[in-house]
Structure 1
């Protein structure tokens, strides 16, 4: 009888602990949801104030090329130069990083032995941990003079920003693609080799094709990182709010204009609301990147 009571008491304590754990988990999840919703509401309300309170045209915001929200008597809030600059450095850096990331990931997973992976993995992790200001300083002292000497111009522009972001997104894309290659079933490799394919044929025709969804996901994550980068790009792109005519002319991005202008505006005024509108564009693009990665992940699951 005593043994039965002890067992019932033990189960009762375990049940109470489970309930407390569920309540704590629910409280944490609720808090996170409230924080996210608060951020979404704050950015959306302030970003839309430019169009509803200050009566600026949404079409002009996305199509006009002049950015001067403090102009009198008529403010100008054409965000097209910053949007073009952000997409230019993002797409170019992702395209430049993709082949290097593919080659590095394949070497780590299917070619190098354990010793090679032990050497390369810390290097990639080190690149991830370097602060953005360090990348920006190196870009300012090395990349900008290199671009000026080789390609002409002032050295500041989309091309310099692309080179800096290429180094910044490379470890992200590489790490994610390594995980994707490791997820390819081993019997794919064994079956290909058993049919007489060489190692390079197996890598090119089997492994890479099987891991294409993971590669696309890695590239999109890299683009999301590049699209939201502020400090490093700000230091090398030139910060000129004009539509770039080429890759070596000074330009600007959404993040560079935000970081340079947000401290010089008064809350509630048109210049401040216009910057919040740029932040809303950044937020929407982040949501698009996340939706794309989820869509690709569902379509490409093994």
Structure 2
């Protein structure tokens, strides 16, 4: 018994150390970004930096609002495309599809989640961009092209997490609904989806975090023009693309401004994760 107790105690302490290290690393990362970003905020002013409309390192202008807008537009359009398809697919696989079909599609969806973003980017370059160019004119590199590919990239994440949320709904809830005379669709609409809603919302928010943090595919498809977007076919530069494009040669205040951009992106993603935790706790308390 003492040996077993010692083993359990060591495992608990080891897990606590690993968790603590993860938290410490995140805090250190935040502190490092803050230290590097402060000169940019001091030079430009926080409001001028966040809401400025011009980004020109050669002229000493560092305003990231067009890039914030570009990131938001690309991400929201990707969600509009991905969320209905993801939830419908998850409901079909968990509630309607036979077991053999579910077992066929589940590994395919998991494989999609593991495909490198550069492959999605090449797919967008060879198929999506030419279609947009021929349909709407322009270069084809646009918010829409990036959003379509991002929607494909976040589909597996939202589908898998939504499936887990639906699968966690107790079986007796469904049996009670059927016992009251509900058909399958009524049971899904009135019982399964409302009970699984906290997990579905979490899946959407995590998909949102994945989309807003994506770099390479967006870099290949969005056009990378640092102007405020006027339509979904406009080229745009996102926060992540801006960092990836310019970090290699940035010096001085330009270098600090890129860290400030990373800090703003970090804060946005942190807010999304906090919103996810809040919604989970809120619905858990209701339950």
Q: CA deviation at 1:153?
A: 2.2
CA contact (8 A) 1:82 1:254 kept: yes
* CA–CA distance in structure 1, aligned partners of residues 201 and 36 of structure 2: 33
- List alignment gaps of at least 5 residues for structure 1: 1-9
1:102 touches 1:174 (CA, 8 Å); kept in 2? yes
After superposition, residues 143-292 of structure 1 pair within 5 angstroms as 143-266=128-251, 269-292=252-275
Q: Which residue is equivalent to 2:44?
A: 56
- TM-score w.r.t. the length of structure 1 is 0.90
CA distance 1:112–1:15, shift in 2 (3 Å)? closer
Rounded Cα–Cα distance in structure 2 between residues aligned with 1:214 and 1:37 = 27
Q: 1:287 to 1:114 in 2, by over 3 A?
A: same
**Does structure 2 conserve the Cα–Cα contact (< 8 Å) formed by 1:224 and 1:286?**
yes
TM, length-normalised to structure 2: 0.94
Q: State the partner residue of 2:54.
A: 66
What's the Cα RMSD here? 1.6
Q: CA offset at residue 26 of structure 1?
A: 4.1
Alignment partner of 1:92 out of 52, 73, 77: 77
d(CA) in 1 for partners of 2:200 and 2:134?
Answer: 34
For the pair 1:77 / 2:62, whether they are aligned, the reply is yes
Rg comparison, structure with higher value: 1
Unaligned segments of structure 2, at least 5 residues: none
Contact preservation (8 Å) 2:174, 2:187: yes
Q: Distance in 2 between matches of 1:210 and 1:31?
A: 35
Distance of 2:5 and 2:103 partners within structure 1: 45
Q: 1:111 to 1:19 in 2, by over 3 A?
A: closer
After TM superposition, list the pairs within 5 Å mapping 1:9-24 onto structure 2: 11=2, 13-24=3-14
Alignment coverage as a number of residue pairs? 285
SS for the counterpart of 1:224 is helix
Name the SS of the counterpart of 2:85 in structure 1: helix
For 1:136, the equivalent position in structure 2 comes to 121
